[in-house]
Amino acid sequence: MSGTMNLKLRVWRQPSAGQPGAFRDYEAKDVSPDESFLEMFDRLNERLIEQGEEPIAFEHDCREGICGACSMVIDGIPHGPERATTTCQLFMRHFRDGQTVVVEPWRAAAFPVLKDLVCDRGSFDRILQAGGFVSVATGNAPDANSVPIGKEAADAAMDAAQCIGCGACVAACKNASAMLFVAAKVSHLALLPQGQPERARRALGMVKAMDREGFGACTNYGECEAACPKSISVSYIARLNREYLRAQVTPTV
């Protein structure tokens, strides 16, 4: 086919969480440069099924860069070589004909591999359950203009709220730290009036949950920001540290 290319893929295959895994080699043929990386995997899986082989398990949902499910390490980089891009938004035009591409799951003790490229990221859910919420009074919703929020605070909160919880920050960090994820979730609520009642409890609870899940410490190398598909700044980690210190001297209920 004109304008297409062929790739060699080295893909991590692991039958289950309790079994060892290994890389297996595949060929992706007649790949269109306009295909996404996941579409290329879809076609590879169709071929494997036709041949009576087990398809490669990988996560996906929205395929619009919103859900954070498409967690693949591609040639050693979470979500692949393009910055501020999820795997589902990565197009094959960024690869060259004949290239060998290595695909593997997130590598972190807190994200155990379930099968092939699928990881259990329930640890993030448990961190959110420890404080990623605000008090909600019953009754009618308040008028949008009844709680004024300054533009600077609103913009900073929205930037932090862009975090999709994909875990690329953890996968990129040599310590498997979840500090950027926790910092984004703590910061975006701490910056808003609605997040003030649980502010201290949130910082203490989410940091404690992060440590309990076995994530590593932050050593300020910045790989997390570089790998983040939403380009969330490491400055939020500094804000998290301030929130945590403030919470330690603030009475909580």
Q: Where are the alpha helices (DSSP H) in 11-121?
A: 37-50
The Cα 91–Cα 4 span in angstroms is 13
pLDDT tens track for 201-250: 999 999 999 999 999 999 999 999 999 999 999 999 999 999 999 999 97
Rg (CA), the chain: 21
Domains and CATH numbers, the chain: 5-114 (3.10.20.30), 122-248 (1.10.1060.10)
The amino acid present at 36, given as its one-letter code, is S
Contact indicator for 176, 228 with CB cutoff of 8 Å? no
Whole-prediction pTM = 0.94
Band of pLDDT at residue 2, cut at 50, 70 and 90: low
pLDDT tens track for 89-123: 999 999 999 999 999 999 999 999 999 999 999 99
The Cα 162–Cα 233 span in angstroms is 11
Contact indicator for 186, 240 with CB cutoff of 8 Å? yes
